[in-house]
Each structure stands twice: as C-alpha cells, then as structure tokens.
Structure 1
C-alpha cells in the first residue's frame, strides 16, 4: 500500500511538472511577455508593403540613422551669405530654405566634428541672387569660401571632400558651384536639377525634391470617385516636350491640356482645384527636368505622369516610383491618351492608394518630423556616407 501511494504521488508530481513546463514554454512564445523592442518604428506594416524597394531594409536603416547619424555644419563665413536661412521658405525653391532651417532644428546636428559622419557646407546662392550678385562673383565667393574651409580645417583633406555636402534647389546655385570643379566632383551635391545638369552623378549626389510650399489647399486622397478627368497639364511652353504636349493634346476632350498657365482672373485657385478632379497629372520637364508640379500632384492625390527621357527622381533608390506614378519617355507623348486609358481601374486605385502613403515624404515641416522630406534627404545622405572610408 505505501508503495502504491508513493507511486501515485510521484506520478502526480511528474504530471504537475509537465503541465508547468508546457505553460512556461507557451508563455515564452506569447508576444505579451516578450521584452519590448527599442526604437521600433510605429508605422503600420501596410505602409511599408508597396512603396519601397526593400521595405524591411528601409525600416531598419532608418531606425539606425535616427540613433547614430551626425552632421557638422561649418560655422565660418559671412553671416549675410552663409548659413542664414535663405531668403524665404516659400516659392519653388523653398526646399533649400527648409533644409537650412531643419538642420538647425534637428538632432542630427553636432558641434563636435570628431563625431560627425558628414560635413555640411552651408552655401546659399539663393541669398546671393537676392543681393543681385552676378554668376561670376558667386563662383568666386563659393571658391574662396570652400578654399578657406580646406585651409582652416583638417576634415576636407581626409577624404578630399567626399564626406562633405552642400544643398541648392536654385538653378543659380547649380551654376555658381559648377564654376568650382573640385566641389562638383568630390562632394555630395543635394540639388533639385538632377538630369539636365550634366554634373549630376547618381548614387553620389542626391535629388532634392522641389516642393512649392505652403500648399494652397489641403492634401487630396481617398477621393477616387471625384476624379473624372483623365489627365491634366497647364504651364509655360518652355521646353520642346511641353510644346509638343500642348500642340498634340490641347483640343482633346478627355485630356485637359492648357498651352499656358491658368490665369488667376478665371477664379480662385482654379489650377489647384483641377488636381482634385483629375486621375493623372502630366509632369513634363521645363527649362530643367525637375518641377514642383510633381510634388503638387502627390500632395493633391493626382497620380503624376513623369514625361521625361531621364530624371533621377527624388528618393529613387528608396521609393519604387512605379508603384505610385506613371513613367514614360518623351517620344511616347503621342500615345499619351492610349497609355493612360490602358491603365485599368484596379491599377489606378493601387497607384492612388500608394500615392497617399508617400505624401508624408514630400512635405517639409518646421520643426521637421519623422519621414518628412527633410528626413528622407537625411536618409539618402546616411546611405551615401557608408561608402566613404578614411
């Protein structure tokens, strides 16, 4: 009898141990008891499902950038010319001004050059233009300023300027800096004109989005039922492709193509309101391939049609532009209508929905916020700094 009781007790103890072990293992698999992840990105997974080339790579790299990336801004130079916010934060060159302001407001800036991954050369040719400075004098000013940094600090010489960058959205800034080949060849150029500008080197330089802020009307999106016009464009005929676009399609009944800017006398914000009513907004290059029209289209929820033979689109190595825009060559302008009509309703809905997801990447804020235009530019710089060794 004692042996039977002892055997029963042992069996009971064994069963209790098995049950306890099973419960413990089960709880370890439960997310509720896992240690919290540090610095995770609180963005729904579906926001990362379509619009990025490598969603998980972007997620992890962005998180690392936020923790580690540091920029040293050179403090020297005439305060009336350098590193004061350019003339204004409005207009088609506002991206340059916002970057100058945002870098001061962000956590990426460091006053310790030994901690810096990259060095920002704060040249504001936009402001020089406002003072009436000629291109020739701008080039001299830029050359002398950069040379003074080379002579005074040791950082340029470690990489011959490969870990230095400057920012300009203004065409005069591109022209002024082109006069100093050492600057163009060696540094990372963050510019708004990355194709007709022959000095632009993809994967070294960065395409800065040209954003016309403040936007006149709220963001569009999730409003497909209101978009009854097939395509829209209105603007100056200041390039060959724009002349052809207007000549071929200005009398079409399904494409709303104007051969000039819409006169404000026709009504308040008529131009902007057309973006709300249109499925596809045509974005042909003008005197430069870049255009604020692309950011306008994204903001108002109108799928941009990139009509260009070559355009290193902003954030092109991060964003998959074919998931939220239509990209066609200039010779396809004659088939523009059939190309757009061949896009099925399901394809358009997908393009439109993805467009809403990327809107945050083409918005400048002060102070900057996560995933906005400033942070996307910083991310592009973060990617480039990895290939610089010293």
Structure 2
C-alpha cells in the first residue's frame, strides 16, 4: 500500500490501555532501581516525538490522523498536540471546546460488559419495572446518582443497587437487565457509561438522565425510538420518574424492544457488520472536513489571536456542567 495515496492514517496506540497499565504508587513506596516501571506520560511523549518526525504527520499537520482515546483521561498529556486529528472518544466530558467536537471527531460506544440477550422481544420474563446497579457516589455530573437512590430505593418493582465492578456484579447486572423493562442510565464522572450499551444489547429500554450526553452513530440511529430521556430536574422529583414509566403501555415497550433489536448490531464489536464497520464509516464522513482544514492550514497566514482558533470545533457542548 502506498502511503502517498492514503486519505487517513490510523495511529495504533492503545491510549486507554496505556493509562490503565500505568501504576499509581505513593511517593513513599520503594521501587527497585533495576526494575523498569511503565510510565504513561513518558510513553505519550515518546509517541508524540515519533509522530512529529513523520513526513505524513508534517504534511497535513495531523489532520488526517486517527486516534483512539476512549477513556476520559486518555492522551491527556498530549491532547493539545493531537487535537487536529480525528479523535475516537466516548464523550466530551473532559475535553475542551477547542480540543474536540462532533464536527471532526467520532463518538464510540463502550464495549458492553454483560451478555447480550438472546431471547425474543416480550414482557413475560421482565417482572421488574426499573433496574440500576452501579456506584452510588460519583463526582461532577454524577452527583445526581445519590439523589436518584434517595427517591427510588423504596419504590415497588424498582431494583437499585450500589456496587463496584466485579464478576459477580456483572452476573447480577446481566440478570437484572434481562428481567427488567427499563434500565436507569444516570451520568457518572462523565456524561456517558458502558451501562447504556449493556442495556441496549439486553433489550432493556434505557432511561437516560444525563443532560450533556453525546451518543454514537446518531445519523443512523434515532435514539428517541429506543430510549426515554429525562432532564435531571424532573428525574429527581419524588415519584416523578416511576409515575412516568408506569404510564408507558406494554405495546409501547414492545415497540422500544423491537427498535432495540434492530440497532443492536451497532453495539456489537464482534459482529462483522457491527461497531467497527460503523466507526470507520463515521470516520470516512470526516474526509471533506479533513481536506478543507488541511488546505486551509497551508494557505493561512500567522495571526495574532487572543483565544484558540476553533474554526472547526464548534459543537462540543457536552462538557460536564452542573449545579447539583
């Protein structure tokens, strides 16, 4: 393959894995001087140094390069140096308006952590009204979780549990989503979470309470057909959420399930016609913008700007803002 003919360059750096692999140690912990300790920041810097030496990076100032940074903190050390590229992210919760946007980047679904529901649509085995299992206490926009616990934990037909990630909690979450009509999806530390995609593949209708969430593949998926959206003010009013869900007719729930089954493949990374194929289709749609910005960069004169030039970054409105 001739790189001269390439429209895009994928940078195969697993930024989220690098972040997770980076050890967190107290300054008082002694480490053997002969032992090599992995350092995510150093790895990011090494990646950037290598990129900046590459002729194809220099050719278009990085506009035609694609990076995966799905963890909210992935590539945090060099994000301002790669922000021209196409960023594959879960949301914009910790990215500035001059770093990422729907215009140039692509929202990825999290890989679901529980088993897909293999049965048919129906309500016979879904005896619970609403299910949630997760960490009750989160920062920033996730403060709403504690409020929801307070208004929901004593409601009939509602299962709401506090719990951290483990094999047993995943088993319980799988059972809960497969036997409930609705699944609660509140914001966490950032607007999105893998729970939404667990619910979708479980055919458990998501109830999204996250004012600044961005969702994957919205040009092909109308989320109003597969989910219920509530603003945080309405959701935390005592009795309001449960009252609304009880009014949803069985026929309407079956319609939701039917639509969930239709779009389920978009959230299956293992499917040949699933998530990965759709991600690259989404990236390909950015090509006209990449050409435009590359050509614009080459002709533009140096300007004395008092603020960042975010000409193409005009629709990042999902950073966490809350008064809760």
Report TM bin, short chain. 0.7 to 0.9
- Give the drift of 1:223: 2.6
Per the alignment, in what secondary structure is the counterpart of residue 226 of structure 1?
coil
User: What secondary structure does 1:222 align onto?
Assistant: coil
Q: Do the aligned partners of 2:192 and 2:214 also contact (CA within 8 Å) in 1?
A: no
User: Equivalents in 1 of 2:161, 2:171: separation in Å?
Assistant: 16
Aligned counterpart, 1:315: 217
**Who is 2:61 aligned against?**
160
Instruction: Indicate if the aligned counterparts of 2:22 and 2:40 stay in contact, CA closer than 8 A.
Output: no
Q: In structure 2, how many angstroms separate the alpha carbons of the residues matched to 1:152 and 1:265?
A: 47
Equivalent-residue separation in structure 2 for 1:326 and 1:123 (angstroms): 36
1:327 & 1:124 partners in 2: Cα distance?
A: 33
CA shift digits 1:323-352 (9 cap, x unpaired): 111122222212211222233333222111
Q: Which has the larger radius of gyration?
A: 1
Q: Superposition pairs for residues 191-340 of structure 1, below 5 Å?
A: 191-198=89-96, 199-213=99-113, 215-216=114-115, 218-237=117-136, 238=138, 239-260=142-163, 269-333=171-235, 334=237, 335-340=240-245
Q: How many residues align?
A: 271
Distance in structure 2 (CA, Å) of the matches to 1:388 and 1:364: 26
Runs of at least 5 residues in structure 1 that lack an aligned partner in the other structure: 1-110
What residue is the counterpart of 1:51 in the other structure? none
**Over 6 Å off, 4+ runs:** 262-266
Task: Using the TM superposition, give the Cα deviation of residue 316 of structure 1 relative to its aligned residue in structure 2, in angstroms.
Answer: 2.1
Q: Secondary structure at the match of 2:206?
A: strand
Distance in 2 of aligned mates of 1:263 and 1:133: 20
Q: Do the aligned partners of residues 163 and 264 (structure 1) sit closer, same or farther apart at CA in structure 2, a change above 3 Å counting?
A: closer
Aligned to 1:170: 71
Q: CA distance change for structure 1 residues 131 and 166 in 2, over 3 Å: closer, same or farther?
A: same
User: Could you tell me whether the CA contact under 8 Å between 1:212 and 1:295 is conserved in 2?
Assistant: yes
Aligned residue for 1:114? Answer: 4
With the length of structure 2 as denominator, give the TM-score of the two structures: 0.75
Q: CA deviation at 1:263?
A: 8.6
- Report which structure shows greater RCO (CA 8 Å, sep ≥6): 2
The answer to whether 1:348 aligns with 2:253 is: yes
Q: 1:187 to 1:230 in 2, by over 3 A?
A: same
Q: How far apart in 2 are the matches of 1:197 and 1:341?
A: 37
- Sort the Cα spacing of 1:196 and 1:304 in 2 relative to 1 into closer, same or farther, 3 A: farther
* Deviation sequence 1:26-53 (CA, Å, 0-9, x none): xxxxxxxxxxxxxxxxxxxxxxxxxxxx
CA change 1:168–1:221 in 2 (3 A) is farther
> Aligned partners of 1:130 and 1:311: how far apart in 2?
24
Change in 2 beyond 3 A, CA 1:234/1:113: same
Distance 1:150 1:130 in 2: 25
How far the C-alpha of 1:219 sits from its partner, in A, is 3.4
Task: String of CA shifts for 1:141-165, please: whole Å, max 9, x gaps.
Answer: 3244234223232x23343222111
Q: Contact between 1:232 and 1:256, CA under 8 Å: does it hold in 2?
A: yes
Query: Do the aligned residues in 1 keep the contact of 2:182 with 2:207 (CA within 8 Å)?
Result: yes
